[in-house]
A and B are shown apart, each in its own frame.
Chain A
Amino acid sequence: MSETLSELSVSLWRGARQGHYENYTVPQRESQTVLDVVTFVQRHIDPTLSYRFACRVGVCGSCAMTVNGKPRWTCRTHVAKVAYGGHLEIGPLANLTVIKDLATDMQPFFEKWQQAKGAFEPSKTRQDAIAQIRPDSPARMAADAAIECINCGVCYAACDTVRWNAKYLGPAALTRAWTLLNDERDAGNTARLQAVAADGGCHACHSHQSCQELCPQALNPTASIAGLKRRTAAAYLKGEIEG
């Protein structure tokens, strides 16, 4: 059993779009994470609290919430590191519709993923030989640097352009498009370039870099999107896509 150090006051968002922050007091424990705190409230204080989690160890991306103003993975955020003056404020992710309490509707996030053509388009069949991809080729290295996205939504919640521009596809969707653009095996890159060059595509990004600052996987969507800007501009000037 880990010892109780003192008490922590937490405010949790209750409700949907209309709602309020409700205060709870929970015991503070060593190595406690924000997810531990939310779980404690739901199990011991208020069973009507709604929230999402799955793996609890930072590999699934389900538990992202707004903690003291920043979107983070709650299972990998130590209370000791973020509780200023012994207080925590936890709310649902921004830029998404709140379903209830700390759970948001991720549907638009995934729809934009599809809109950005974030799905692999095969170019071969099982009868063909397996593609030989060199892991140290520049394209593969570019793809590998951006591939570890687990769709947690932190970048999307952090992005002000998402907030201000309803059409903007967002950093995660565009990053995935960038990895596929760099995948030699993919056959859908003309359509993909057209998709990310459309209204709300990569050109809407103003390089605020909140995504890059906050990505828990240390990905750099700003750089991936800059790559998309270069590729779409080149394609447009060559007449391969329409503007």
Chain B
Amino acid sequence: MTARVIKHRDSALWIAAMVHRLSGLGLAIFLPLHFLALGLAIEGEAKLESFLRWSEQPLVKIAEGGLVFLLTVHLLGGLRILVIENFPWSSGQKQIATLAAVVSAIVAFVFLSRVF
């Protein structure tokens, strides 16, 4: 029909729900790779060490920062759902959702500042 069908999806809470889903998907794709990397230790310490050295590259570190963001934002988004479903309704959810995104960005930024 029309591209304008996305108009009402501009609410902070709808965006929060989409970020939650997409971050979960991102993490689900990442996890097997994470497990495979750790599994390198089976072949000996040297194998794991060379992987860790490879991951020192700036681009990899930035990707890791992105992953920390995904993890934090997915956790906070999930917390939002658990609160909606198990506690009395609270207003001000839009502000809290925005705050959650900001906190996740800060956590990712702190991570990046420690690895660079």
**A interface residues (Cβ-Cβ under 8 A, vs B):** 13, 21, 66, 68-71, 89, 91, 94, 158, 160, 206-210, 213-214, 220, 222-223, 226, 229-230
Contact = CB atoms under 8 A, between A and B. Distances in A.
B74 to A, nearest CB: 14
Given A71-B8, A207-B85, A214-B8, 5 more contacts: A69-B4, A69-B8, A206-B81, A209-B17, A220-B89
A61 to B, nearest CB: 18
B24 to A, nearest CB: 11
Contacts of B80: 207
A70 B7 contact: yes
B13 interface: yes
9 tightest Cβ-Cβ pairs between the two chains A and B: A69-B7, A69-B4, A70-B8, A209-B13, A223-B89, A208-B17, A226-B85, A208-B14, A229-B85
B36 interface: no
Contacts of A206: 17, 21, 81
Contact of A222 (B7, B9, B84): B84
B84 A158 contact: no
B81 A69 contact: no
8 contacts: A21-B2, A207-B17, A208-B17, A210-B14, A213-B11, A213-B13, A223-B89, A230-B86
Contacts of B4: 68-69, 89
B29 interface: no
Contacts, number: 59
Contact of A210 (B2, B9, B86, B93): B9
B46 interface: no
B1 interface: yes
Contacts of B8: 69-71, 158, 210, 213-214
Contacts of A70: 7-8
B59 interface: no
Nearest to A163: B5
Given A220-B89, A229-B85, A69 B5 contact: yes
A208 B89 contact: no
B93 to A, nearest CB: 8
A229 B89 CA distance: 14
A154 to B, nearest CB: 10
Nearest to B88: A223
B28 interface: no
A128 B21 CA distance: 52
B33 interface: no
Interface in B77-116: 80-81, 84-86, 89, 93
Interface in B31-51: none
A208 B21 CA distance: 11
Nearest to A223: B89
Residue among B1, B2, B17 facing the most chain A CB atoms (10 A cut-off): B1
A230 B81 CA distance: 13
A91 B8 CA distance: 14
A70 B84 CA distance: 25
Given A220-B89, A222-B84, A226-B85, A209 B7 contact: no
Contacts of B21: 206
Contacts of B5: 66, 69, 94
Nearest to A207: B84
B84 A226 contact: yes
Contacts of B7: 68-70
